A and B are shown apart, each in its own frame.
Chain A
Amino acid sequence: MIELIGVTKRYRELVAVNNLSLHVSRGEVFGFLGPNGAGKTTTIKMIAGLMRPTEGRILVGGIDLSIDPIRAKALMGFIPDHPFLYEKLTGEEFLRFIGGLYKIDGQQLEGRVDELFEVFGLQDFRDELIESYSHGMRQRLVMGSAFLHHPQVVIVDEPMVGLDPQGARLVQAIFREQCAKGKTVFMSTHTLGVAEEVCDRIGIIHKGELIALGTKEELQKQVKGGAEKLESIFLQLTGGEEMIRVVEYLKS
């Protein structure tokens, strides 16, 4: 459903993503992990069509983003890490506006808006201006807007930031449910517990390169001593030695 073929992104001398090739299937929840500055957000922005790769191709649902971005975007729902919202619109006005852009109208839109406000627990705030929303409420509203058009692929950058435990649990449930319906979820996260619980497969990017890919069990086999927890696997693969240096420094 999502295919990256030899994708590279350079910012002048800096190589943010280097020759990344990846295939994410229909009905899969894919976790994209990596330390800060590893190239996760750049990759996600390229898949969402907000950045162009310096080299390589990206296909969503078989559609090449560089050839037909509009059709590719119509298949996707994108949830950025710092989403933009129109402060002076109400939650409902915002969802209706997004609905219009995805050409959802009339009864279909009415029902969908009601449903999403209900699911995301924002029913009491639908007529409030977004400027009065808390961080978590904004996050829920953005998720609602991303699911409004029943996307085939959901691209999420840090979905758990600012969500309370109920919200986080809800998002996990929604991702699994989407997956059961044959939809694809591509998410980057630092919340390794969530990735462990929700993702079918995990890719770890470090310094712009994909250094590990597979199910949790497959990743376990790639590290020394077959670490149990995803956190240990992640640290071993992405610079546990740096962490050890920090701990040593703090001890001194």
Chain B
Amino acid sequence: MKDTFLYLLHPTWRSVWNRDRGRRAYGTLRNLFLLVLGTVFWAGIFYSFYRVLLYFQGVEGIGTVLAVKLLTMIMVVFFSLLVFSNIITALSAYYLSDELVLLHSLPVSLERIQLAKFVETLFASSWMIVLFGMPVFGAYGVVYGASAAYYGAVLLGLVPLLVIAAAAGIVFTMILVRLFPARKTKEILVLLSIVFLVSLYLLFRFLQPERLFEEAELDRFINFLAVVKTPSSVYLPSHWFTEFLVPLLFGRSGDPWFHFLLLLSTAMAWVTIGEWVGSRIYMDGWMKSQEGRDTNLLASSWVHRAAEVLTRPLDLQTRSVVRKDIKLFLRDTTQWTQLLLLGALVVVYLYNFRVLDLKKIPMSRVYLQNLLSFLNMGLAGFVVSAVAIRFVFPAVSIEGKSFWLLRSAPISIKTLLWSKFWMYLAPLLVLSEILIILSNWFLNVSGFMMGLSVVTMVFLTAGIVGLGIGLGAIYPRFSVENVAKIATGYGAILYMILAMGFIALAVFLEAWPVNTILMAYFVGVRIHLLQSFMIVGSLLLVAMLSLAVCILPMVWGVRHLEASLS
């Protein structure tokens, strides 16, 4: 074992084993949470495909054709995702991981390191895609009553398919790094993947998939699917995989074993090509990545100048902290590209209200408009808190290993945290008000609801930001290198639960006063003096709750951070 490449993977699996050492309760809780979430998602995929395939089965004449076309399309997407995922993972595993300095300084052959990295890349980039691909294959098997041979074939065929995707992705990465510095390649790939995701998300939403629930639309879709040319090629491994399964699945004639052998021989060829390419260009690329000094993609000076103008009114210390945070954010491609995702989220959110057809719901239109507007406050609050967990909660942790610099400077923790509070409050307030004002405008709500929503969102946003900064300071993770990981820790989960609880409570407190006022407005019911007091009291309670949720965690955060550092 010690002479094989597998030994080099020993620290990886051992690290996974040791991950929750000393925090068993937390580890169990997190694993349970992930298991439940994963199972729900898995079951959701299975059920969706099961229903679609059952429907296809019922379509006379072309039912099987449709199912095969769908499988072919899925496999093209599946294979593309695998290759792309392998490219991203290979960049880290082969070029950017800190472990490489240790490995390359040891008397270990390049072939062993390459093989270990190949296995690491293959597993890291494939397991999730495979896991969530399984319910699709399962649904096909169940609907078409496949035999055990089909399930065996899925597993058998997947092995060479995954190997081809991994080897092709790795070879492509090695060539990329030979041409460009590794870090620059990573930035470009991150940007491309985010743009790809955003486009996919917007495209899917603008296709209005909800229309498929209408019979006429579904028929039109089926006809379209039947005539559309499948975006596949006989030279693609995904096609061979489909051709391997189809005869076993539908009992049709074909050459399953010929296609399996194509997969197998191509996999072996790719591994050989990968080994050959690696032995020639990998070491040069890695050594070059040690020397690389790259600039970032978003280096436009006008962005920095705009940030300077906007922060001018702040006092010197706050201004310095805010400007530093803005610069770091804009210079980190993994950070600023998320603004693209955020933009897409806002567009889709508003689009949902734009295409909402209230006529189809058998309720009073005016009542419905205001009811939706009321619920919209909670919904917008959830969106803001989802954004906050990614940006606001990690605000303290991202100081990371440079936190000593701020601690040794004559700036108090209180000033530091409140600087961060104002820095994140401003953009989130703009986001939340855009969401609420435009969606209310599309809903054509009354002036009262518009006013109440706008004011409520100010309080909710302040609460969400204060809670985020405060809890982020109570549960800081300074040693986490990957910012995305900060939002997955215990503190982050607690933050999400508390933020949701806060939004739900605030909306609940406003429910009765809003209902009473709307009834008075539309039905003409009089509001008694006692009711007026109670309405004002409820609204004041929401304001006080928001201020408490905003200020108390900030105070506790300051205390906790001071105590932990003293």
Partner-B contacts on A (CB < 8 A): 11, 45, 48-52, 70-71, 73-74, 76, 78, 80, 83-84, 86-90, 93-94, 97-98, 100-103, 105, 129, 131
Chain B contacts of A87 at CB under 8 A?
Answer: 15, 479
Chain B contacts of A70 at CB under 8 A?
Answer: 107-109
Interface SS, B side: helix
Chain B contacts of A74 at CB under 8 A?
Answer: 107
**A84 and B108 contacting across the interface, CB-CB below 8 Å:** no
Docked pose: A102 CA to B7 CA in angstroms: 12
Asked whether B287 is an interface residue with its Cβ less than 8 Å from the other chain, the reply is yes
In addition to A86-B11, A86-B15, 4 A-B residue pairs with Cβ atoms within 8 Å of each other are A71-B107, A83-B102, A86-B14, A103-B2
Docked pose: A98 CA to B102 CA in angstroms: 10
**A129 and B106 contacting across the interface, CB-CB below 8 Å:** no
Asked whether B354 is an interface residue with its Cβ less than 8 Å from the other chain, the reply is no
Docked pose: A118 CA to B2 CA in angstroms: 26
**B18 and A50 contacting across the interface, CB-CB below 8 Å:** no
Docked pose: A87 CA to B481 CA in angstroms: 12
Chain B contacts of A97 at CB under 8 A?
Answer: 10-11, 14
- Which 6 A-B pairs rank lowest in CB-CB distance, beginning with the nearest? A88-B15, A74-B107, A73-B107, A84-B98, A100-B2, A78-B105
Report the minimal beta-carbon distance from B302 to chain A, rounded to whole angstroms: 29
**A102 and B107 contacting across the interface, CB-CB below 8 Å:** yes
**B18 and A88 contacting across the interface, CB-CB below 8 Å:** yes
User: A48-B105, A73-B105, A129-B18 given as contacts; is B291 within 8 A of A86 (CB)?
Assistant: no
Asked whether B99 is an interface residue with its Cβ less than 8 Å from the other chain, the reply is yes
User: A50-B290, A80-B101 given as contacts; is B106 within 8 A of A101 (CB)?
Assistant: yes
Docked pose: A43 CA to B392 CA in angstroms: 43
**Closest chain B residue, CB of each to CB of A132:** B22
Docked pose: A105 CA to B7 CA in angstroms: 13
Report the minimal beta-carbon distance from B564 to chain A, rounded to whole angstroms: 15
Asked whether B365 is an interface residue with its Cβ less than 8 Å from the other chain, the reply is no
**A89 and B107 contacting across the interface, CB-CB below 8 Å:** no
User: A48-B105, A50-B105 given as contacts; is B7 within 8 A of A84 (CB)?
Assistant: no
Docked pose: A97 CA to B479 CA in angstroms: 24
Q: How many residues of B contact A (CB 8 A)?
A: 29
**B287 and A88 contacting across the interface, CB-CB below 8 Å:** no
Asked whether B211 is an interface residue with its Cβ less than 8 Å from the other chain, the reply is no
Chain B contacts of A131 at CB under 8 A?
Answer: 479
**A89 and B18 contacting across the interface, CB-CB below 8 Å:** yes
**Closest chain B residue, CB of each to CB of A70:** B107
Chain A contacts of B108 at CB under 8 A?
Answer: 70, 101
Chain B contacts of A93 at CB under 8 A?
Answer: 11, 14, 18
**B287 and A50 contacting across the interface, CB-CB below 8 Å:** yes
**B14 and A89 contacting across the interface, CB-CB below 8 Å:** yes
Task: Provide 18 A-B residue pairs closer than 8 Å at the C-beta atoms, listed in order of the A residue.
Answer: A45-B290, A50-B104, A50-B105, A51-B290, A51-B291, A52-B283, A84-B101, A88-B21, A93-B11, A93-B14, A93-B18, A97-B10, A97-B14, A100-B2, A101-B2, A101-B106, A103-B2, A103-B3
Docked pose: A22 CA to B104 CA in angstroms: 24
**Closest chain A residue, CB of each to CB of B106:** A101
Asked whether B312 is an interface residue with its Cβ less than 8 Å from the other chain, the reply is no
**B7 and A101 contacting across the interface, CB-CB below 8 Å:** yes
Docked pose: A87 CA to B102 CA in angstroms: 14
Interface centre among A45, A76, A101, A129 (most CB of B within 10 A): A101
Report the minimal beta-carbon distance from B90 to chain A, rounded to whole angstroms: 19
Asked whether B19 is an interface residue with its Cβ less than 8 Å from the other chain, the reply is yes
Report the minimal beta-carbon distance from A90 to chain B, rounded to whole angstroms: 7
Report the minimal beta-carbon distance from B550 to chain A, rounded to whole angstroms: 33
Chain A contacts of B98 at CB under 8 A?
Answer: 84
